[in-house]
Amino acid sequence: MDMGRIGRWVFSVAAGLTLLVQLGAAAQAATISAGGYQTCAIGEPAGAMHCWGAGNVGQLGDNYSSHRAAPVAVVTPITRWSSVASGENHSCGIVGNGAVYCWGYNNFGQLGDGTLVSRAVPVAVVGLGSGARQLALGTDHSCALMQTGRVNCWGNGANGRLGSGQVANQSTPSEVLTLTDAVAVGAGQGHTCATLADGTMKCWGLNGNGQLGDGTTTNRTTPVFVSIGVPVAAIAVASLHTCARSSDGAALCWGRNNIGQLGDGTLVQRLMPVGVSGLSAGVAALVAGGHHTCAQTGSSSLKCWGYNATGQLGNGTLVNASVPVDVISLAAPVGEIAAGAYHTCARSGGGNRVRCWGDALYGRIAVGNTLAGTPDYSTQPVTISGLPAPARQLTMRTATGCAVTTFGSASCWGRNNLRQLGAGTAIDHAGPRYVFGLQSGVGDIAIGDGHGCAVRTDGAVWCWGDNTYGQIGDQTTIPRDVAVQTVGITNAVQVATGLNFSCVRTATGAVWCWGQNADGQLGDGTTLNRTQPVAAVGLGSGVIDLALGDRHACAVRSDGGVRCWGYNNGGQLGDASVVSRSVPTPINDGFASYVAISAGTVHTCALTTTGQAKCWGGNTYGQLGDGSTITRATPAGVATLSSGVLQIAAGDFHACALLAGGTLRCWGRNNNYQIGDDTQINRLQPVAASNVAGSVTRVVLGAQATCVLRAGDSAQCWGANGNGQLGNGSITTPLRVPQEISRWLIGDLIFRDDFES
C-alpha cells in the first residue's frame, strides 16, 4: 500500500462491518476490515489474507470453527488478495482478477454461492465472474461494485436492502436497479448506499431511523437520492446511521443518534444530513462502526464519537461521546482505518503494523481474553505462534509463559492481570509480546505468578510486573509494566522466580534473593521482606542450579549436595521435617549426588548424577511419581526412572522427565490434559506424553500446562489455556493440530501499542 496516498482512503462499516469506499473518482482496495465479531487483513507475505476473532461459523476462513485471539491464515490456494470486507459473521475478498470469494455464516445466502451452507473456507460467488473492484458487507447481506459502475447484491433481502425491488432473500447476486455509474458502495445492518460519478448519493433498504437521508422513515426497495446538497466524495455506512465526506472535506451524518453516533452534539435522530461538530473541513477519511464513527483529520490524528462502552473510541475512557474525541497515543502515520461493531483497528506506525482497540471478546482485537463457558484447554500440542525468532529457552508458571529467542529477545504471553508480560498493559495476550526493554541481549528468563525477571548477557537483572513485596528488586514496591533493572546485581547467570520472590545465581555460584520473605524463602535467616537482593546465607559459592517453588527455594551445589529453604508444610524442603527454614538446609538423602533441580508448588524434583529422577513433598495428585499419593519429606525415586533421565521439570501438581532419545514421561495431576496422554486421568507414575511428535530437547511446566522445545527449536504447548498461556493465539476451543501463523501478524511486531480497555 502506498502510505503517501493516505488521504484517499476511507472505510464504511455496518453493524460493525468494515469496507473501504472511495475518496474521489474511484473506490480503493481495503486491506483491513473489522466485522461484527472478527477482523481480517491482507499483509505479508504480499497479498496473504489473515483473520482473527470469532470463528464459530467459519468466519475466519481457516477451515476450523474455533475462536482465535491472534491472526490465522485463510485456507485457500489463492496467494494474492487485493481487497477484503467483513460482515457480522462473514467475510469476502477480491482476488487479482476481480473475482469474489466469501466465507463464514450463510443463513441468508450472504456468501453468494447459491446455497445456505456456511463455509469455513472461501467459496466463489457465482455469476459475478471477474471485474469486482470494491465490496460492501452488511450484517447478513453483501454487495460488490463492478468495474462497469453497476452494483450487485445478495443475501438477506428484508426491507429492500438488496435494491432489486424485492424483499426476498437471494443466494446469488442480482443487479441493483437504476445504478449504472456508482463509484463506491457501503452496507449497513439493513440498508445500503452508493456514491455516483457526479457526486450524488443514493441509498435503499431499511429507513426506520432516517438512515437513507431522504427526509422520511419509509423503507425503499430501490435506490433514492440522499438530500445532502453538497458533492459527496466518500461514504461510511453503519448499523443504523450513515455518514459522508463532502468534496470540501466536511463530515456529515444522519439516521439514528441515541448515543451520539452522528457527532452533532445531540442525541436527536436526523432524517437528513447534519454537520459533525468541529469537522466542517479537513476530513481525509471516515469509518463507521456499529454505533460509533471515526474520522481521520491528519497523518496522526484520528477522532471518534458515539458508543464507547467497550473503549472503541480509543480515548482511554468508556464514556459515550456526542462530539468527536481524540484517539490517544496513535503512532504516525495513520494508514487504513476499520471499525467493527464494538472495536476499531488501524494500520499505524508504518508498514504492516495493525493496532486494534475496544471489545476483546472472541479475540477480535487479537490481545487474548477468556471466554467463559467454553473449553479452555488443548489436548494436543499446539505451536507457540509468532515468536520473532526460534525459541532458545522457555519458562512457564501458572497461566503465563515466556521465551528467549535465538536473537536474544524476550517475549511473554498468557495471563497479564498483574502486568507480568512486561508489555506495557494489563491485558491477557494469547500470542507472544515483547517484554519492553528486553528486545535483545537476554541470556536467561523466569516467570512467576505475577512478575518476571531476566538476566542480560552483561550480568544485569531486569524484572517487571507485580512488586507488592519488592520482588522486582528496584528498592520500591511500585508495580512495573515494563522491565526495570534490579539493583546491585552485575554478574548473574541464572534467574528464578517464585510466587512473590526472586533469586539469582551469580557467576561465582552465590545466590541472592529479594521480595516476600514471610516463610524465610529468601534464605537470609530472617522473615523480613526485601526490596533489593540479599545473600542466601551458608551457601557461599559453588551453586550450579537453582529452583523456586511458590514459597520455597532449592539449590544444587557443585559437590552434588542440595539445600532448600522457605515454606515446608508438605515436606518440600526434603529434610525429613515439615518445619519451615529461613536458611538453606541440606536435604535428607544420604550420599546421593545431584546435578539439577526443579520446584513445584509444594513438591520438588531433582536429577542425580546417575540419571535418576527423585521427588519429595506434597503428593495429592501423584506428582511425586512413586505410584502413591503419600506425602514424602525426603527424596523418593520416581517409578521406572532410575536412570536415563536428562532433565526433570516440576509444575504446580505435575512433573515431567526428558529421557535420552528425546522422549517425554509425565505424571501427577491431569485435569487439563497437561500430562499429554490425551486423557484427564491423574497419573501416579510416569506415562508417555504420546501426543508429542519429534524429538524433545527441553521441557517446562506451568500450573496446568506443559511446553517443550523440539529439535529445530520448534516450541509447542498443551494443557490449560484459559488465559492464552499456550501462546498459539487461541483461548477457547481445544485444538487438535498445531496452527502456525505468519510472522507479520504477531506480537509487538504488529500490535506494538494496542489501544486496550
Domain end marker among 707, 725, 751: 707
Structural domain including 429 reads 392-655+699-707
Which amino acid belongs to residue 594?
A: Y
Question: Residue 382: pLDDT band by 50, 70, 90 thresholds?
Answer: low
pLDDT of residue 14: 28
419 and 560: one domain?
Answer: yes
* pLDDT at residue 386 in the model: 65
Contact status, residue 374 vs residue 356, Cβ threshold 8 Å: no
Please say if the pLDDT value at position 578 is more than 50. yes
Phi/psi of residue 748, nearest 5 degrees: -80, 0
Distance (Å, whole) CA 690 – CA 699: 14
pLDDT value, residue 364: 67
In a shared domain, residues 141 and 242: yes
CA–CA gap between residue 526 and residue 551 (Å, rounded)? 14
| Residue 227, pLDDT score | 96
pLDDT confidence bin for 385, thresholds 50/70/90: low
Q: What is the pLDDT of residues 271-281, one digit of tens each?
A: 999 999 999 99
Residue-level pLDDT at 564: 98
Let me know whether 351 and 490 are in one domain: no
Handedness of CA 130, 132, 137, 140 (dihedral sign): negative
Does 746 fall in a domain?
Answer: no
C-alpha cell at 638: 520416581
Report pLDDT for 17: 28
Reported as a single tens digit per residue, the pLDDT across 580-619 is: 999 999 999 988 999 999 999 999 999 999 999 999 999 9
| Residue 665, in any domain of the structure | no
- Span 488-524, pLDDT tens digits: 999 999 999 999 999 999 999 999 999 999 999 999 9
Domain match, 631 and 536 both: yes
Residue 543 has pLDDT above 50, yes or no: yes
pLDDT value for 711: 79
DSSP 8-class letter at 222? E
pLDDT at 406 over 70: yes
The reply to whether 329 and 418 lie within a common domain is no
Least confident of 141-145, 365-369, 581-585: 365-369
Q: Band of the pLDDT at 3, cuts 50, 70, 90? A: very low
One domain for residues 513 and 585: yes
Alpha-carbon distance 642 to 54, whole Å?
Answer: 48
More confident residue, 141 or 53: 141
State the pLDDT at residue 29: 60
Residue 2 lies in a domain: no
Grid cell 432489486 in the structure block, residue? 164
Which segments of 435-519 are extended strands (E)? 442-447, 451-456, 461-465, 480-485, 492-497, 501-506, 511-515
Q: Both 350 and 444 in a single domain?
A: no
Among the candidates 345, 363, 381, a domain finishes at: 363
On whether the CB atoms of residues 32 and 355 are closer than 8 A, the answer is no
- What pLDDT, on a 0 to 100 scale, did the predictor assign at position 245? 96
Whether 409 is in a domain gets the answer yes
- DSSP secondary-structure letter at 749? H
Q: In this predicted structure, which of 351-355, 532-536, 685-689 has the lowest mean pLDDT?
A: 351-355
- For residues 543-558, one letter each, b for 16 or more C-beta atoms within 10 angstroms of the residue's C-beta and e for the rest, the string is bbbbbbbbbbbbbbbe
Burial of 508 (0-12, 13-18, 19+ CB in 10 A): exposed
Number of H helices, E strands in the chain: 1, 58
pLDDT at 562: 97
pTM of the model: 0.65
- The answer to whether residues 351 and 403 belong to one domain is no
According to the model, what pLDDT value does residue 323 have?
Answer: 97
In a domain, 329, yes or no: yes
Mean pLDDT in residue range 302-327: 90
pLDDT attached to residue 263? 97
Q: For position 745, what pLDDT does the model report?
A: 28
**In this predicted structure, what is the pLDDT of residue 123?**
97
Q: Do the beta carbons of residue 153 and residue 108 sit within 8 Å? A: no
Tell me if 513 is assigned to some domain: yes
Element (H, E) at 499: none
* Residues 300 and 419 occupy one common structural domain: no
* Angstrom distance (rounded) from CA 391 to CA 375: 27
- 350 or 238: which carries more pLDDT confidence? 238
pLDDT of residue 193: 98
On whether both 31 and 126 belong to a single domain, the answer is: yes
**Cell numbers for 40:** 481480517
Instruction: Give the 3-state secondary structure of 522-570.
Output: CCCCCCCCEEEEEECCCCCCCEEEEEECCCEEEEEECCCCEEEEECCCC
| 77 and 208 inside one domain | yes
- pLDDT at 729 > cutoff 90: no
Residue 550, in any domain of the structure: yes
Count: domains in the chain: 2
Same domain, 162 and 293: yes
342-354 pLDDT tens trace: 888 887 766 556 7
Last residue of a domain, one of 707, 730, 748: 707
Using a 10 angstrom Cβ sphere, with 0-12 exposed, 13-18 middle and 19 or more buried, the burial of residue 458 is: exposed
Task: Establish if 667 belongs to a structural domain.
Answer: no
Residue percentage of the chain with pLDDT more than 70: 87
| C-alpha distances out from residue 515 to 499, 503, 534, Å | 10, 9, 10
Q: What CA–CA distance (Å, rounded) separates 715 from 473?
A: 30
Give how far the C-alpha of residue 743 lies from the chain's centroid of Cα atoms, to the nearest Å: 14
CATH of the domain at 63: 2.130.10.30
Q: Which of 13-27, 407-421, 526-540 has the highest mean pLDDT?
A: 526-540
- 361 versus 380: the higher-pLDDT residue is 361
SS3 72: strand
Picking from 120, 62, 78, 38, the residue whose alpha carbon sits closest to that of residue 385 is 62
